[in-house]
Amino acid sequence: MARLTPDNLLLARKIIARFPEPRSATIMLCHLAQEQDGYLSPEAMEQVAELIGATSAEVLGTASFYEMFKMHPVGKYCVNVCTNISCQLLGGEELLEHAEEVMGIRSGSTTADGMFTLEDVECVAACTEAPAVQVNYRYFNRVSPDDFDELLEDLRSGELSRTIPSHGTLGNVRQDLHGDRVANITSPSQQVEPAWFPNGDSDEGPAK
């Protein structure tokens, strides 16, 4: 596990080549690693750092800001139950309790078979459909405890495997845009400063 497979390494190099600054590829490469392993491992972050010419600490600093990068192994399906205000009013907390019971784990942990990770989350912007649940960031609306049981059943049986790929996979279909068809990327060194900046000496460094 962990270091990028040869195919992914090739893809990583392709991604980096699209940016004027290799560092700009940090997030994309973290996604690539998470797609491969299901989570972002320390080894992967080290490799990303090597590839973009940064330190591992810098990659960790960036990646750890994002809730959706998991720094520990998670289940195949991340089940997020919203307990923020709208959902709470319509039974989100009860749903979470129910989930803990039927899955046999506490929120924040992963089932022994590695299928599910359960989390309670803040508003996922589906308030009109409360209580809302996400599985690998795909929405399930107005979920009752019975709906929830059915959802788990479908996930287990593989019924939903086409619509919900395993954790980390960004999409079932990857669009491959040829390198020379990208538009509007200007290297920072060639960028022109907007006219409303008073004196154009942006590369002056700290004020003396």
Partner 1 sequence: MRDIEITEPVEITLNGELVTAQNGELLIDACERNGSYIPRFCYHSRLTPVGMCRMCLVEVDTGRGPALQPSCMIPVSDGMGVDTESDGVAKAQDGVLEFLLANHPLDCPVCDKGGECPLQDQAYAYGPGESRFVEEKRHNEKPIPISELVLLDRERCILCDRCTRFADEVAGDPLIHFIHRGSHTEVNTFPGEPFASYFSGNTVQICPVGALTASPYRFKARPWDLEETESTCTRCSVGCRVVVESSRNKVLRLQGVDSDPVNWSWLCDKGRFGFQAGNSGNRLSRPLQRCESGELSEVGWNTALDSAASVISAAIAGRGPQSVAVLGGARLTNESAYSWAKLAKDVIGTDNVDCQLGDGLPAELVLGLPGASIDEVCEPGATVLYLGPDAKEELPILYLRLRHAADFDGVKIVEVGPTLTGLSPYAAESVTAVPGETPSVLAALLDGTSEHVEASALLRNASDLKVVIGRANLAEDEAITVQTADLIRESVPGATFLPALRRANVRGALEAGLAPGFLPGGATLAGTLPTGWQSMPAERGGGAAEILEDAANGRVDVLILLGSDPLRDFPDRSLARRALAGAKTVISIDPFVNASAEQADLVLAASMFSESAGTTTSLEGRVTALNQLVTPPGTARDDWMIAVDLADRLGADLGVETSADDLAEEMAGFSDAHVVLGDGAPVGDGVMLDISGRDLLTSAEVEVPPANAYSLRLVLNRTMYDKGTLLEESESSAGLAGESVVKLSAADAAPLGVDGSTQVKVTSEHGSVTVAATIDSRVPKGVAVMHHALGDVDAGTLLVHGDPVCDVRVEVS
Nearer to partner 1, 172 or 189 (CB): 189
The only residue of 130, 152, 160, 164 in contact with ligand FES, by rule CB under 6 A? 130
CB 126 within 8 A of CB 139: yes
Nearer to ligand FES, 132 or 152 (CB): 132
- The site partner of 58 among ligand FES, partner 1, none (C-beta below 5 to 8 Å per kind) is partner 1
82 sits near ligand FES (criterion: CB under 6 A):
yes
Taking CB atoms within 8 Å and a gap of at least 24, the contacts of 64-68 are 66/27, 68/137
Q: How far is CA 131 from the centre of its chain?
A: 22
84 sits near ligand FES (criterion: CB under 6 A):
yes
91 sits near ligand FES (criterion: CB under 6 A):
no
The only residue of 60, 87, 96, 143 in contact with ligand FES, by rule CB under 6 A? 87
Which residues in the 109-128 window bind ligand FES by CB under 6 A? 123-127
Which residue's entry shows tokens 């089932």?
111
For every residue of 27-45, DSSP letters joined together read HHHHHHHHHHHSS--HHHH
Nearest distance from C-beta of residue 52 to partner 1, angstroms: 13
CB 91 within 8 A of CB 131: yes
Nearer to ligand FES, 29 or 87 (CB): 87
Residue 155, φ and ψ in degrees, nearest 5: -65, -40
CA distance 14 to 82: 37
Nearer to partner 1, 50 or 159 (CB): 50
